[in-house]
């Protein structure tokens, strides 16, 4: 009854505190929406983005056409023709275009000549008839790709790989053509076979999952909703500590200390109330991910895993967050100390916990440190459940870590609070 | 029978390094309104905190209602009611919500809870304001509600620390009248205050402490008789504690 009374009292205090309500419910919602929108583009990988790239084709031969056809087929690059390489350089420098591909004059002819020389040398090597009259040293063909310094490294790498793949393809096709020409000695060219190189070997990518969630990737919504939900849940320390210290300063905590047996009810009641608030935050944020994000042009949040396990993880994160908030509340003597330390520590824990950016993109040292952040335990569990439909066995280690963290912080809070009840 | 027996208690806070209470011995008889008087820093609040079990004496014994506070602090707290000097209430809860919450923490429920809160709100003229949030109250109303919160569980011993600080004449009169009635019902009261006229009006016994030491204790009448050169309690107080300002 005493615990229920404390929960009800905390409820009344919260609903009459518009600032606290905004901090608990409105700010996190705004935060998760803004962060999902802001991080949407960075989360989309090269396959999802269409880069505007200039093509300066001074060659006006087969290689340029092949590049056009190949990029058109992939749909990843929007090629824009430009005649002047200096203008192209300026446009890329100004950031107007992400890159420019420059084909120097005679590049196709040079490539053809090199393949012809190559085949002739092979034939001659095996003692077969071959036209070896052209044995001049032809320089290596170098295609120029100018890139915007602001372009991400992986985009630059993807673009270069794409062009290299096109050239390799062209080179192989021309080698085969030249081989057939030399074998037929220029006769009966109608018998030449046109090869479709893609039929020889191709890379078939698929997702390891075989259920209906196969193909579900970590996107802005899948990352940001659970990540910022945890951030908001840990930020519960702000109203929790503020309220606790206010009660200490205005004397109501003293009155409660003067009531026999009230301390356990006070701490436990506060813990359970803010635990429920955390769960409410979680449900609200998940609803935002499912129902609001698609309206903003973002992906819909997909809860791939078992609902029971998701709820279990949310409960464990809520307990860890409330335990941490309670510890901050009882340890610090002034609101300024508690709220400053508390909010900065939550930002640090969230940063190393993978809330701001996924842990796998962090330096190795931070990846090691992140193992000690309760937010990384929670986020890893949510990712396991949402993206990999993990079982209880998979998430159990992180669940136990979160529960352990909650238990330790709560016990430390009770110990500190009790030790300060009597001076 | 004595409701409070203090035996040579001493308490020194680490921060100040000097004793807040020094070798203090005191007996408070049952049914008394006991005025604990002294200038600022005399050790009154420390003594009160030791009576409640919130501060442990470095040495000496504190016995309240026949129980050793060191070993039975919770049992003692169940039987005492304390109105601290601060307005120890939740400002955004209504008067009724505050009292309901504290009542439940005292273990009151149902009919008993309603009866006690309604009765005390009525006694202190707060029934009409029962559903208003405390932060909208005047100083006098807050002070009365602060007192009510200490009386909800019908304690045998009531400890009041400056119960009339910052209140108007009407509220003060209401509080003092109530305390006089409470005294008649046999409840023991420890009354810590700077307002000596109030102590003169309601206290049957008085102890004057200064710099942590007991200067004098006894019935009000016996003290005044012993110091016939002092016609008021204030004159006696100044005579015993001096006229130097204490900060």
Looking at the domain assignment, is residue B247 inside a domain? no
Chain B residues inside the 8 Å CB shell of A15: none
Looking at the domain assignment, is residue B196 inside a domain? yes
Q: Which domain holds residue B166?
A: 2-241
Residue of B nearest to A12 (CA): B93
Quote the pLDDT of residue A281.
92
Quote the pLDDT of residue B243.
62
What value does the mean pLDDT take over residues B195-204? Answer: 85
Pairwise CA distance, residues A371 & A357, whole Å: 15
Looking at the domain assignment, is residue B246 inside a domain? no
Helix (H, G, I), strand (E, B) or coil at A372: coil
Distance from CA of B153 to the nearest CA of A (A): 10
Phi-psi region of B244 (alpha: psi -120 to 50; beta: other; left: phi over 0): beta
Quote the pLDDT of residue A422.
63
Q: How many domains does chain B have?
A: 1
Instruction: Give the count of alpha carbons within 13 A of B246, CB side only.
Output: 13
Is residue B65 within 8 Å of residue B157, measured between CB atoms?
A: yes
Q: Return the number of CB contacts < 8 Å for A and B.
A: 81
Provide φ and ψ at A50, rounded to 5°.
Answer: -115, 115
Pairwise CA distance, residues A104 & A141, whole Å: 10
Residue of A nearest to B46 (CA): A423
Distance from CA of A327 to the nearest CA of B (A): 21
Out of B87, B93, B105, name the one closest to residue A262 (CB): B105
Is residue A323 within 8 Å of residue A406, measured between CB atoms?
A: yes
Instruction: Give the count of alpha carbons within 13 A of B209, CB side only.
Output: 26
Quote the pLDDT of residue A295.
92
Looking at the domain assignment, is residue B171 inside a domain? yes
Pairwise CA distance, residues B203 & B209, whole Å: 16
Helix (H, G, I), strand (E, B) or coil at A396: helix
Quote the pLDDT of residue A344.
92
Pairwise CA distance, residues B118 & B133, whole Å: 16
Task: Tell me whether A247 touches chain B (CB under 8 Å).
Answer: yes
Is residue A338 within 8 Å of residue A324, measured between CB atoms?
A: no
Q: According to the 3-state scheme, what is the secondary structure of B69-110? A: HHHHHHHHHHHEEEECCCCCCCCCCEHHHHHHHHHHHCCCCH
Tokens 């001096």 belong to residue:
B242
Chain A residues inside the 8 Å CB shell of B77: 258-260
Q: Report CA dihedral (A92, A96, A99, A102) to the nearest 10 degrees.
A: -60
Quote the pLDDT of residue A47.
47
Strands A77-81, A51-57: pairing is parallel
Is residue A206 within 8 Å of residue A262, measured between CB atoms?
A: no
Pairwise CA distance, residues B34 & B52, whole Å: 16
Contact criterion met (CB < 8 Å) for A5 and B54: no
Supply the CATH number for residue B68's domain: 3.40.50.300
Quote the pLDDT of residue A214.
61
Quote the pLDDT of residue B95.
95
Say yes or no to pLDDT of B227 above 60: yes
What value does the mean pLDDT take over residues B88-101? Answer: 93
Nearest C-alpha neighbor of B80 from the set B178, B184, B161: B161
Nearest C-alpha neighbor of A64 from the set A102, A14, A15, A95: A102
Where does A198-319 show beta strands of DSSP type E?
A: none
Task: Tell me whether A296 touches chain B (CB under 8 Å).
Answer: no
Cα torsion angle, B38, B43, B47, B49, sign: positive
Looking at the domain assignment, is residue B29 inside a domain? yes
Is residue B81 within 8 Å of residue B158, measured between CB atoms?
A: yes
Chain A residues inside the 8 Å CB shell of B53: 422
DSSP state of A288: I
- DSSP characters for B151-220? HTT--SEEEEESTTTT--HHHHHHHHHHHHHHHHTT-EEEEEES-HHHHHHH-SEEEEEETTEEEEEEEH
Chain A residues inside the 8 Å CB shell of B165: none
- Cα-Cα end-to-end distance for chain A: 29
Looking at the domain assignment, is residue B133 inside a domain? yes
Provide φ and ψ at A385, rounded to 5°.
Answer: -75, -45
In this structure, how many other beta carbons lie within 10 angstroms of the beta carbon of residue A338? 24
- Ranking A200-209, B31-40, B183-192 by mean pLDDT, the lowest is A200-209
Distance from CA of A264 to the nearest CA of B (A): 11
Distance from CA of B239 to the nearest CA of A (A): 34
Chain A residues inside the 8 Å CB shell of B73: 260, 422
Distance from CA of A31 to the nearest CA of B (A): 28
Task: Tell me whether A82 touches chain B (CB under 8 Å).
Answer: no
Q: Is the pTM of this model over 0.80?
A: no
Q: Which of residues 7-46 of A touch B (CB under 8 A)?
A: 8-9, 12-13, 16-17
Pairwise CA distance, residues B29 & A144, whole Å: 102
pLDDT in tens, B121-148: 999 999 999 999 999 998 889 999 999 9
Distance from CA of B1 to the nearest CA of A (A): 24
Q: Which domains does chain A have, with CATH numbers?
A: 2-45+217-419 (no CATH), 51-199 (3.40.190)
What value does the mean pLDDT take over residues B87-104? Answer: 93
Residue-level pLDDT, tens digit, chain A, 423 residues: 889 999 999 999 999 988 888 888 888 888 888 888 887 777 765 445 677 889 999 988 888 888 888 888 877 788 899 989 899 999 888 888 888 999 888 888 888 888 888 888 888 888 777 676 777 777 787 788 888 877 777 778 888 888 888 888 888 888 888 888 777 776 666 667 777 766 777 777 766 666 666 666 667 788 888 888 889 899 888 888 888 888 888 888 888 888 877 788 888 899 899 999 999 999 999 999 899 988 988 888 888 778 899 999 999 999 999 999 999 998 988 888 888 999 899 999 988 888 888 787 788 888 888 888 999 999 889 888 887 788 898 899 999 999 999 999 998 988 888 777 666
Quote the pLDDT of residue B216.
86
Chain A residues inside the 8 Å CB shell of B75: 260
In this structure, how many other beta carbons lie within 10 angstroms of the beta carbon of residue A168? 11
Nearest C-alpha neighbor of A97 from the set A133, A48, A61, A146: A146
Quote the pLDDT of residue A46.
45
Nearest C-alpha neighbor of B180 from the set B111, B136, B123: B123
Strands B188-193, B205-210: pairing is unpaired
Contact criterion met (CB < 8 Å) for A251 and B149: no
Looking at the domain assignment, is residue B204 inside a domain? yes
Rounded to the nearest integer, the mean pLDDT of chain B is 87
Task: Tell me whether A418 touches chain B (CB under 8 Å).
Answer: no
């Amino acid at each position: 009854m005493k615990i229920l009374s404390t929960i009800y009292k905390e409820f009344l205090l919260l609903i009459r505190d518009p600032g606290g309500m905004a901090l608990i419910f409105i700010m996190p919602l705004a935060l998760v929406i803004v962060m999902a929108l802001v991080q949407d583009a960075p989360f989309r990988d090269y396959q999802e983005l269409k880069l505007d790239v200039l093509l300066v084709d001074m060659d006006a031969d087969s290689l340029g056409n092949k590049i056009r056809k190949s990029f058109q087929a992939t749909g990843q690059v929007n090629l824009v023709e430009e005649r002047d390489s200096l203008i192209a350089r300026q446009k890329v420098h100004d950031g107007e275009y992400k890159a420019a591909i420059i084909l120097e004059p005679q590049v196709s002819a040079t490539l053809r000549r090199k393949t012809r020389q190559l085949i002739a040398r092979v034939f001659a090597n095996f003692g077969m008839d071959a036209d070896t009259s052209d044995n001049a040293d032809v320089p290596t063909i170098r295609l120029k790709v100018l890139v915007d310094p602001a372009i991400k490294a992986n985009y630059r790498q993807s673009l270069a790989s794409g062009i290299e793949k096109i050239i390799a393809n062209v080179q192989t096709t021309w080698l085969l053509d030249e081989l057939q020409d030399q074998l037929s000695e220029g006769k009966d060219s109608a018998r030449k076979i046109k090869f479709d190189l893609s039929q020889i070997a191709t890379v078939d990518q698929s997702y390891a999952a075989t259920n209906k969630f196969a193909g579900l990737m970590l996107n802005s919504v899948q990352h940001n909703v659970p990540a910022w939900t945890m951030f908001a849940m840990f930020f519960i320390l702000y109203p929790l500590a503020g309220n606790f210290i206010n009660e200490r300063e205005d004397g109501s905590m003293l009155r409660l200390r003067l009531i026999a047996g009230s301390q356990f009810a006070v701490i436990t009641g506060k813990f359970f109330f803010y635990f429920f608030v955390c769960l409410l935050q979680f449900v609200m944020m998940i609803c935002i991910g499912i129902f609001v994000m698609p309206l903003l042009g973002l992906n819909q949040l997909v809860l791939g895993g078992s609902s029971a396990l998701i709820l279990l993880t949310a409960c464990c994160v809520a307990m860890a967050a409330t335990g941490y908030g309670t510890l901050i509340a009882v340890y610090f003597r002034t609101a300024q100390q508690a709220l400053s330390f508390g909010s900065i520590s939550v930002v640090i824990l969230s940063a190393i916990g993978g809330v701001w950016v996924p842990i796998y993109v962090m330096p190795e040292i931070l990846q090691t440190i992140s193992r000690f952040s309760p937010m990384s335990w929670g986020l890893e569990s949510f990712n396991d459940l949402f993206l990999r439909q993990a079982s209880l066995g998979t998430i159990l280690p992180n669940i136990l870590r979160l529960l352990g963290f909650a238990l330790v912080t709560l016990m430390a809070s009770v110990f500190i609070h009790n030790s300060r009840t009597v001076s | 029978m004595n409701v409070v027996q203090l035996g040579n208690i001493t308490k020194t806070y680490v921060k100040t390094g000097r004793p807040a209470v020094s070798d203090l011995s005191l007996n408070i008889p049952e049914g008394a309104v006991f005025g604990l008087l002294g200038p600022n820093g005399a050790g009154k609040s420390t003594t009160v905190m030791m009576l409640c079990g919130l501060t442990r004496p470095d040495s000496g014994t504190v016995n309240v209602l026949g129980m050793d506070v060191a070993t039975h602090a919770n049992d003692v707290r169940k039987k005492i009611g304390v109105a601290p000097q601060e307005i120890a209430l939740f400002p955004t809860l209504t008067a009724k919500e505050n009292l309901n919450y504290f009542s439940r923490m005292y273990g009151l429920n149902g009919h008993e809870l309603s009866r006690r809160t309604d009765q005390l709100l009525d006694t202190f003229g707060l029934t009409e304001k029962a559903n208003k949030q405390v932060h909208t109250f005047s100083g006098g109303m807050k002070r009365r509600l602060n007192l009510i919160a200490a009386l909800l569980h019908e304690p045998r011993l009531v400890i009041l620390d400056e119960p009339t600080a910052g209140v108007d004449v009407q509220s003060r009169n209401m509080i003092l009248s109530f305390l006089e009635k409470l005294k008649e019902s046999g409840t023991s009261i420890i009354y810590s205050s700077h307002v000596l006229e109030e102590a003169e009006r309601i206290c049957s016994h008085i102890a004057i402490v200064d710099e942590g030491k007991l200067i004098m204790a006894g019935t009000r009448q016996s003290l005044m008789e012993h110091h016939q050169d002092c016609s008021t309690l204030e004159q006696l107080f100044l005579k015993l504690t001096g006229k130097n300002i204490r900060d």
